[in-house]
Chains A and B, each alone.
Chain A
Amino acid sequence: MTRGLAGKHGADAGIREPKHPFAYFVSEPIKIDIWSDIACPWCYIGKRHLESGIASLGDGAPEVDITYHSYELSPDTPLDFEGSTVEYLADRKGMPVERVEQMLDHVTGVAAQAGLDYHFEKVAHTKTLKAHEVLHFAKSEGKQLELKERLLKAYFVEGGRVNRIDELVAYAAEVGLDADAARDALESGRYGDAVQADIAQAQAYGINGVPFFVIDGKYGISGAQPAEVFAQALTQVAGERDGAAA
């Protein structure tokens, strides 16, 4: 879900020095910047928790402007790993198969509590760089949140291949993006620099793991925190803004 996706951003987007008393009611949405990957089970869970936290505030929820930033958890992932998730983790990390299965069962259970129907037996491990590129294209078209949700669902619920241009174009079209434009964006690779810029920004911030949330550029939240943590953070930021405007 999204509230108040503002078209204007930056220091001059809101009314900082109101000349009319009612102008205090007009302000920028609270910016939420999220670094995450598609191949990140806790990023999808964290996304749901954030959405639940915002929803829990009801009609009093502040408007928010959510932007997803690219983070490639495992850049050396093969483009097409043909084995299962269990095989992938057991082979790569040297973890006992039983331990991997326990781990995946646990994640699946937590995901279910968040309303997500994970199927690790279907997951097609892949490099996610192209998925990040199409998310940047979607951002330029105002459809990033819709496509982020679609790609996460494809990866964890449906076993979709989120590295292949044909399939990424199909997902983009499903959320209302122009298929030809999406294909052109992917084949040209013109959003590659934007993806790398996001990754570099994460490094500059010292972000080592995802999901990672930055609220209004002031507060950092690491991990798939419970919904109430997000609700409290948003309430605090909104209160601070009210205090600053008073």
Chain B
Amino acid sequence: MSAPETTQATDAATPTPFAMIAGDPSAMVCEGDVCYIPGASAE
């Protein structure tokens, strides 16, 4: 099993103290009243 791809969180706007695992870019997240694929249209 290959290691998951990670990105170091260095963006000042997202001060996460951990490395982000990219995973599936089409994974949905919810924000406010809508759920969406980050970088794509709202769902």
Contact = CB atoms under 8 A, between A and B. Distances in A.
B32 A73 contact: yes
How big is chain B's contact interface, by range? 20 to 34
How big is chain A's contact interface, by range? 35 or more
A72 to B, nearest CB: 10
Given A37-B30, A235-B1, A220 B20 contact: yes
Contacts of A206: 9, 13-16
Contact of A43 (B15, B30, B43): B30
B27 A224 contact: yes
B32 A219 contact: no
Nearest to B36: A209
A47 B9 CA distance: 24
Looking at chain B's contact residues, the main secondary structure is loop
Interface stretch (A3-11, A15-23, A130-138, A226-234): A226-234
Contacts of B34: 89, 93
A230 to B, nearest CB: 9
B33 A73 contact: yes
A93 B33 contact: yes
A107 B1 contact: no
Interface in A62-86: 73-74
Interface of A: 37, 40-43, 45-46, 73-74, 88-89, 92-93, 103, 106-107, 204-212, 214-215, 217-226, 229, 231-233, 235-236
Interface of B: 1-4, 6, 9, 13-21, 23-24, 27-35, 38, 42-43
